[in-house]
Each structure stands twice: as structure tokens, then as C-alpha cells.
Structure 1
Amino acid sequence: MTQYAILIYEDPALYETMPPEGWGAVVDAHSTFIKQVSELGGSMAGGGALAPVTTATTIKGGAVTDGPFLESKETFGGYYVVEARDLDHAVEIGKLCPAPGGGVEVRPLVDPATSPF
């Protein structure tokens, strides 16, 4: 099995105005997603949620600035690392990942032992 990152990008404004019960529904949706990964024959290898983009510190060319470097509507808010048979399997899993304020990107992880990169 190969490892794939499922990168979650969403509009942070969705969470700024979300009532507490809405956050509970998001947490429940992610719990369901974790169960679905194994039901589809994949496995969860890790993951995490990121603090709001306003807490970011950006380093570019040695210069350090508070906040995100780029302004964008959707920001990187969290990720999962899953093990899947192939890209099609990873995409099938990724389609189930909750991202009510945006979408997800599925990308294979590089195996340093076999990668030319």
C-alpha cells in the first residue's frame, strides 16, 4: 500500500461564524470519515487539524512575518495520511473527507528510498 496525503482546504470564514453545534457536526463528520477509511480497505496513518491561518508565521527568503504569506479564500486547514492500494483508491477515500467550506487535494507521499526526487 502507498501513503497519500489528503489535504483539506476550506474558507476559514465558515468556521468564524459557525455555532457550537455546527463545530460538533464537523467533528462527527471527521469521526465518520476515519471509520470509512478502514471500511474501504484503507488505513489511517496520521493526520491533524491546523490552528487558524491568522496564527501562522511565514518564513520566505530568511524573512519572518506574522500571518499567512498569501491572501486566499481557501486555506490549508488540516490533513490526513492514509494508506491506499493506488491513486484511484486514495481518491475514493478522499471524496469522503469532510470539507464543507472547500475541498480536498489527494497527493502521494514520496518514499525517499525509491523516489528520484
Structure 2
Amino acid sequence: MKYLCLLHYDVAKFENLTPARLEAIVKECAPYDAALKASGQQVAVGSLQHGTSMILRARDGQPSTSEGSIASTVGAVLILEARDLNDAVRVASLHPAARTGEDLGWAVEVRPFEMFESPWRTP
């Protein structure tokens, strides 16, 4: 089963990190990411770029856009393969975001995630 891990943090605090602190965080995350990839449990991982996002909503039957973010505290996403929710929580708890960074408001949200092929996708 797949699980979506949303890595939350306080964007303002993260943006004010010194280059040295940011480099230390990256170095702390690298071994976790490498181990997860080597285990075969990592399906996908990525960081969200803040400051440039658009929200699409239906207005009078047409798409309407506005600047901003609904998920303003999400900084990264990780999709992992695990036996069950408890196993997914165990794996996610090894990530530095679940173990350090209290001053940055780090938190990891783990949710069951169903991947499917889009019926609109062309081969």
C-alpha cells in the first residue's frame, strides 16, 4: 500500500534560515532519503517551491485562478510503500522532520494514498 507523507513547516522560519543551517538540514535528510530509496519503499519525493503558486477554483462553471496556496505549510512530499499505516508511520518517523526541527514547526502527516492511471492519459 502507498502512503503520502506531507512534510509541514513554518515557511517564514524556514525562509530565515542561515545558509549553514539549511546545508545542515539537507545533510541530515540525505542519508534518510538514500536509505529509503535503497529499500525500495520510496515511490516519489520532492520539495514544493513557495512563493509561486496558483489556486484554480470553479466560478460560474469556469476555472478561476488566484495567487496563493491552500497547503501553505507543506514544504515537501514523499510517497512511500509500506505494509500498513503503522509501518508507514514507523518509516516516516525516521525522517529528520519527525525527529528534529521543532524550532521550524516541522511535522509529518501520513495518509493512505491510492495511485491510479488517469483515464485521460494517452499512451
TM-score (ref. length: structure 1): 0.77
Pairing of 1:9-48 with structure 2 (within 5 A):
9-37=8-36, 43-48=41-46
Residue matched to 2:121: none
8 Å contact from structure 1 (residues 48, 78) kept in 2 = yes
- Looking at structure 1, the residues matched to 8 and 70 of structure 2 have their Cα atoms a distance apart, in angstroms, of 16
Whether 1:58 aligns to 2:62 is: no
Residue number in structure 2 paired with 1:76: 74
* Match of residue 103 from structure 1: 107
Q: Helix, strand or coil for the counterpart of 1:18? A: coil
User: How far does residue 98 in structure 1 lie from its aligned partner after superposition?
Assistant: 2.6
1:49 equivalent to 2:50? Answer no
* Cα separation, 1, equivalents of 2:94 and 2:33: 9
Q: Which residue of 2 aligns with 1:4?
A: 3
- The alignment covers a number of residue pairs equal to 107
Q: Could you say what the CA RMSD is over the residues aligned between the two structures, in angstroms?
A: 2.3
Structure 2, unaligned stretches of length 5 or more? 118-123
Alpha-carbon separation, structure 1, partners of 2:83 and 2:109 = 17
Larger radius of gyration, structure 1 or 2? 2
Higher alpha-carbon deviation: 74-83 or 4-13? 74-83
2:120 matched to which residue of 1?
A: none
Alignment TM-score, normalising by the size of structure 2: 0.74
Task: Give CA-to-partner distance per residue, 1:39-92, whole Å, 9 cap, x none.
Answer: 8x661111100101x21111122220112258xxx6111111111121111001
Quote the sequence identity (%): 28
Q: Is the 8 A contact 1:42 1:84 kept in 2?
A: no
Q: Structure 1: give runs of 5+ residues left out of the alignment.
A: none
